[in-house]
A and B are shown apart, each in its own frame.
Chain A
Amino acid sequence: AQRVTQPEKLLSVFKGAPVELKCNYSYSGSPELFWYVQYSRQRLQLLLRHISRESIKGFTADLNKGETSFHLKKPFAQEEDSAMYYCALRPYSSASKIIFGSGTRLSIRP
């Protein structure tokens, strides 16, 4: 079965500290992976996708096929990073379906 697991419901770090939001997936093929973010009172939006290999707002994520992980990292947290973060997977076997994890709330303390 296809599944996305985010083991932390809440992650609280101090401003300036490194951040790592964990994401593990189960899928037998090669998926497309994403991180979405939802800031307070805003709609869910794409943060980054693994095929782009880009850094957005200082965040990066590397796909590790051996560990089936796609952790989101930022070296120095900022207060405006406080939000809900969702990891998501699109199986290449399906043209349409996107599966989300349960989400991690990131709280940055001043």
Chain B
Amino acid sequence: DVKVTQSSRYLVKRTGEKVFLECVQDMDHENMFWYRQDPGLGLRLIYFSYDVKMKEKGDIPEGYSVSREKKERFSLILESASTNQTSMYLCASRFQGKGEAFFGQGTRLTVV
């Protein structure tokens, strides 16, 4: 059974803080993704990684960066959190070239 685990379920951070969201998968998937989920906007792709140390910008990368030093771990970094980054963040992973993505349980981030 594929497991994608996000380190926190809920986070509250202050404006201007540096925030790290961690995601770990245990199925040796090459591809990993970070999305944000907002009502009425669906899932929007922030960044994805197709292999270790490889990354590509998604549709809304501004204000975010990512790190993939190990195959199983994909980190999303908010360099200086702002209130408009309050959202649900979803991590996903899948095998290269095989369609289905498996999702984590989500991290609800509130920036105050």
Contact = CB atoms under 8 A, between A and B. Distances in A.
Contacts of A17: none
A96 to B, nearest CB: 5
A98 B42 contact: no
Interface residues on B, range: 20 to 34
A103 B100 contact: no
Main secondary structure of the interface of B (DSSP, over half): strand
Interface stretch (A40-48, A53-61, A73-81): A40-48
A48 to B, nearest CB: 10
Contact of A44 (B31, B99, B103): B103
Most buried by B among A32, A34, A43: A43
12 contacts: A32-B99, A43-B103, A46-B100, A51-B99, A86-B42, A95-B96, A96-B31, A96-B48, A96-B56, A98-B33, A100-B45, A101-B42
Given A6-B42, A49-B99, A98-B45, 8 more contacts: A46-B100, A95-B31, A95-B96, A97-B58, A98-B101, A102-B40, A102-B41, A103-B43
